[in-house]
C-alpha cells in the first residue's frame, strides 16, 4: 500500500445540536492534527476528530480509523448503521467529499478521461451527470466494481450492494438536478476575483463556488487547457485576504484533481525519454524552479505551476505533484532503463534535489522510504551483474560495488551490498587477479588496501565494515603467502636492520591491508630486531639512525592499530547515528 492511498480528514461538531461536518482533508497526519487543534482554539466548545482514511484495493473503498478526538461530543455510529456494509459513501453529499470523489476517480477513470473532466466537475455539473446517466453500461459497471469488492468482506450479496449503491447514485443525481433548477447566476462577470468575492459576500457556501467554477470549465475543452484556465482564475484573485483565500481554495481543489490524471501531466511536460526525465521535471515544478533546465522544453503550464508553487500558492495542487513524485519513485519502473550505472546516478541526483525541498508535502520520511524501496530493487542479482558487466578487472568490479554505497538508502540495503563485496572478493577471478595478476605483488596489495579503506570510510554499519575489512585482510594474507613476500624480505642479503625497516615501511605506509597483514609484518620485523644478529647490529653507532627509524615506524603502526580498533559499543553507536 503506497502512502498516496492514505489521507486524513478533520471533522467538526460545533455544538450538541449540530451534526459532524467535514472541515478539510490533508495528506499529512501532522497537518491534520494541527488543523484540529486550531479549530478547537478558534471555536470554543466545539468537538473535533481526525480520521485516517486508507484505500483498500480489495474492498474498493476507504477504511476509516479515528486517530484523534477532543471535545464534549464523541462520534458514535448510529446503531442501525453498525450492521450495514461500510460503503464508500452513505449520502449524496458524501459523494462530493474527498473520499467519495476519489472513489469516483478510480472506478470512472476511463470515462472521466474521455470526457476530459475531473470528479469535481462531474458532481457539480448536471449536464455531465445526465451524460453519465445515459451511459448505463459504464455507470453500472462502476457500481458493480465497488459492490463486488465490498461483498468480499460483507455478509451482503453483490445484488444487495448494487441495489443500495444504485439508490445512492440516483439520489445524488436527483439532488444535482434540483440544485440546477434552483440555481441562479451569482454575477454576470467574467472576472473570477469578482465572482468569488460576490459569492463570499453573500455568505454563499462552497457548493455555490464550486458550481460556478464547474460552469466556467464547461466552456473549456481539454484537461491541460482547463488547468491553464484555473491558473488564469488564480491570476484574477481579489486582493482582500479572505476573498482571495476562498477563491484560491476552490480553484486549487479543481486543479489538483486535473493534475491527478496522467494525460494532464503528460501534456504539460516535455516528452521524456524515460521515467527519470519525468520525475526530474516534476521535481522542478514542485520546487518552484520554473527556469530550471529540465523545464526548458516543457509547456507554459508547467512553468506557470512552478512559479505559483514558488510563491507559496496552490497547496493542494503542489501536494498532488508531490504524490506523483512519490508514486513514481515507489514504482518498479526503472528511472534509466538503458543503464544500471545511469540509474544509480539519476537516483542520487534526484535524492539530492528532493531532500533539499522536502517538507510537510514531501516529507523526508516518505522520501527515505521511497528511495529505500528503489535501492532494494537496484540490488537484485541481475542488476548488480549488469552494473559490473563492463568492469575491466576484479578490483574495478569491487570498486564499483563499494561506490554504489553512496547512492543506496536503508541499513538493510547496505548490508546486502556489503555481502556482495565479500562475495566478489571470494570469487576465483578475484583470487587469481590479486595473487598472480599484473604488476608486482606490492602494487596489488596496495590496490587491495585502498579498497579496504574506501569500504571503511563508508556509512556501512560497524559490523559490516569489520567483516569486509577482515575479507580484504584475508585476501592480503593469501597474496603475501603466494608471493612469499615476507620471506623474501626477511631472508634477503641486506643488513638485518634494513630488512626490519623494510617490513615496517610497507605496513606503516599503507601498502598492506589492515589486520593480520600488518601485524605479521610488525611481528617479523621485531623478531629480526631482537634476534642475535639484530642485537649486534643495534650496538653499532653507525646504525643509530636506522634504529630511530625502526622505532618511529613501530610507533606509527601501534598508533594506527589503536585508531582503528573498535571501541566498546561502537557497533550500536554507529547504527544509532545512521538512524539519526
Tens of pLDDT, residue by residue, the chain (580 residues): 344 467 888 888 887 777 787 777 777 888 888 888 888 887 778 889 988 887 666 555 566 778 888 888 776 654 444 434 456 667 767 777 777 787 788 778 888 888 898 888 888 888 888 888 777 677 777 777 777 776 666 666 777 777 777 777 777 777 777 776 766 544 455 678 777 787 777 766 778 888 888 888 988 899 999 999 999 999 988 888 888 888 889 999 999 999 999 999 999 999 999 999 999 999 999 999 999 999 999 999 999 999 999 999 999 999 999 999 999 999 989 999 988 889 988 998 999 999 999 988 898 989 999 999 889 888 989 999 998 988 999 999 999 999 988 888 888 999 999 999 999 999 999 999 999 999 999 999 999 999 999 999 988 999 999 999 999 999 999 999 999 999 999 899 999 999 999 999 999 988 999 999 999 999 999 999 999 999 999 999 998 999 999 999 999 888 887 777 654 444 444 433 333 2
Chain centroid offset of residue 155 CA: 39
Bridge partner residues of 61 (DSSP): 56
Distance CA 120, CA 114 (A): 15
Place of cell 471555536: 43
CB 305 within 8 A of CB 231: yes
Residue 436's SS3 state is helix
> H helices of 43-156, where?
79-82, 92-95, 98-107, 109-115, 119-124, 126-134, 136-151
Distance CA 87, CA 61 (A): 7
pTM, whole model, 2 decimals? 0.72
CB-based burial of residue 411 (10 Å sphere; 0-12 exposed, 13-18 middle, 19+ buried)?
middle
Phi-psi region of 222 (alpha: psi -120 to 50; beta: other; left: phi over 0): left
Work out the angle at residue 76's Cα, subtended by the Cα atoms of residues 70 and 81, and round it to the nearest 5 degrees.
Answer: 155
**261: Cβ–Cβ under 8 A, 6 or more apart, which residues?**
109, 112, 113, 118, 223
Q: Where are the domains of the chain?
A: 1-76, 391-576
- Maximum alpha-carbon separation in the chain: 116
DSSP class of residue 47 equals E
- Count of CB atoms situated within 10 Å of the CB of 539: 9
Distance CA 174, CA 530 (A): 104
Amino acid at each position: 500500500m503506497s502512502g498516496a492511498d492514505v489521507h486524513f480528514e478533520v471533522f467538526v461538531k460545533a455544538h450538541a445540536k449540530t451534526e459532524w461536518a467535514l472541515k478539510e482533508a490533508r495528506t499529512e497526519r501532522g497537518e491534520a492534527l494541527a488543523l484540529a487543534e486550531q479549530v478547537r482554539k478558534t471555536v470554543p466548545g466545539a468537538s473535533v476528530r481526525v480520521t485516517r482514511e486508507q484505500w483498500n484495493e480489495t474492498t474498493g473503498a476507504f477504511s476509516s480509523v479515528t486517530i484523534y478526538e477532543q471535545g464534549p461530543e464523541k462520534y458514535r455510529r448510529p446503531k442501525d448503521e453498525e450492521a450495514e456494509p461500510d460503503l464508500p459513501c452513505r449520502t449524496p453529499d458524501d459523494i462530493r467529499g474527498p473520499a467519495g470523489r476519489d472513489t469516483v476517480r478510480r472506478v470512472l477513470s476511463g470515462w472521466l478521461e474521455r470526457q476530459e473532466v475531473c470528479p469535481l466537475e462531474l458532481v457539480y455539473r448536471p449536464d455531465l451527470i445526465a451524460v453519465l446517466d445515459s451511459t448505463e453500461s459504464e455507470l453500472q459497471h462502476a457500481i458493480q466494481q465497488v459492490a463486488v469488492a465490498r461483498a468480499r468482506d460483507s455478509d451482503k450479496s453483490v445484488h444487495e450492494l448494487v441495489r443500495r449503491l444504485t439508490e445512492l447514485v440516483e439520489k445524488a443525481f436527483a439532488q444535482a438536478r434540483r440544485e440546477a433548477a434552483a440555481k441562479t447566476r451569482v454575477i454576470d462577470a467574467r472576472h473570477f476575483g469578482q465572482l468569488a468575492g460576490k459569492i463570499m459576500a453573500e455568505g454563499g457556501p462552497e457548493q455555490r463556488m464550486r458550481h460556478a467554477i464547474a460552469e466556467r470549465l464547461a466552456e473549456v475543452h481539454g484537461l491541460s487547457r482547463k488547468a491553464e484556465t484555473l491558473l488564469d482564475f488564480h491570476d484574477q484573485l481579489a486582493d482582500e485576504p479572505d476573498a482571495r483565500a476562498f477563491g484560491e481554495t476552490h480553484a486549487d481543489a479543481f486543479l489538483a484533481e486535473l493534475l491527478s490524471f496522467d494525460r494532464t501531466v503528460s501534456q504539460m511536460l516535455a516528452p521524456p525519454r524515460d521515467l527519470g526525465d519525468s520525475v526530474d521535471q516534476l521535481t522542478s515544478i514542485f520546487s518552484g524552479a520554473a527556469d530550471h533546465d529540465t523545464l526548458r522544453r516543457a509547456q507554459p503550464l508547467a512553468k506557470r505551476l512552478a512559479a505559483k508553487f514558488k510563491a507559496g500558492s496552490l497547496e493542494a495542487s503542489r501536494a498532488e505533484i508531490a504524490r506523483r513524485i512519490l508514486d513514481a519513485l515507489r514504482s518498479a519502473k526503472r528511472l534509466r532503463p538503458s543503464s544500471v550505472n545511469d540509474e544509480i546516478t539519476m537516483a542520487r541526483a534526484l535524492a539530492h534535489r528532493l531532500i533539499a525541498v522536502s517538507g510537510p508535502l514531501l516529507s523526508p520520511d516518505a522520501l527515505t522510504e521511497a528511495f529505500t524501496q528503489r535501492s532494494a530493487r537496484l540490488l537484485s542479482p541481475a542488476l548488480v551483474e549488469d552494473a559490473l558487466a563492463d568492469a575491466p578487472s576484479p578490483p574495478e568490479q569491487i570498486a564499483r560495488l563499494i561506490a554504489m554505497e553512496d547512492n543506496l538508502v536503508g541499513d538493510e540495503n547496505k548490508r546486502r551490498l556489503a555481502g556482495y563485496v565479500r562475495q566478489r572478493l571470494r570469487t576465483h577471478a578475484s583470487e587469481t587477479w590479486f595473487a598472480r595478476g599484473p604488476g608486482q605483488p606490492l602494487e596489488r596489495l596496495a590496490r587491495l588496501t585502498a579498497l579496504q579503506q574506501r569500504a571503511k570510510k563508508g556509512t556501512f554499519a560497524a559490523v559490516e565494515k569489520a567483516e569486509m575489512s577482515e575479507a580484504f585482510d584475508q585476501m592480503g594474507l593469501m597474496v603475501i603467502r603466494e608471493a612469499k613476500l615476507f620471506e623474501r624480505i626477511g631472508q634477503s642479503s641486506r643488513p638485518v636492520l634494513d630488512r626490519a625497516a623494510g617490513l615496517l615501511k610497507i605496513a606503516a605506509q599503507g601498502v598492506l591491508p589492515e589486520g593480520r597483514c600488518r601485524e605479521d609484518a610488525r611481528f617479523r620485523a621485531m623478531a629480526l630486531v631482537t634476534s642475535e644478529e639484530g642485537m649486534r647490529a643495534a650496538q653499532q653507532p653507525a646504525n643509530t639512525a636506522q634504529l630511530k627509524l625502526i622505532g618511529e615506524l613501530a610507533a606509527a603502526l601501534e598508533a594506527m592499530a589503536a585508531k582503528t580498533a573498535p571501541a566498546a559499543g561502537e557497533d550500536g553507536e554507529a547504527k544509532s547515528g545512521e538512524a539519526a
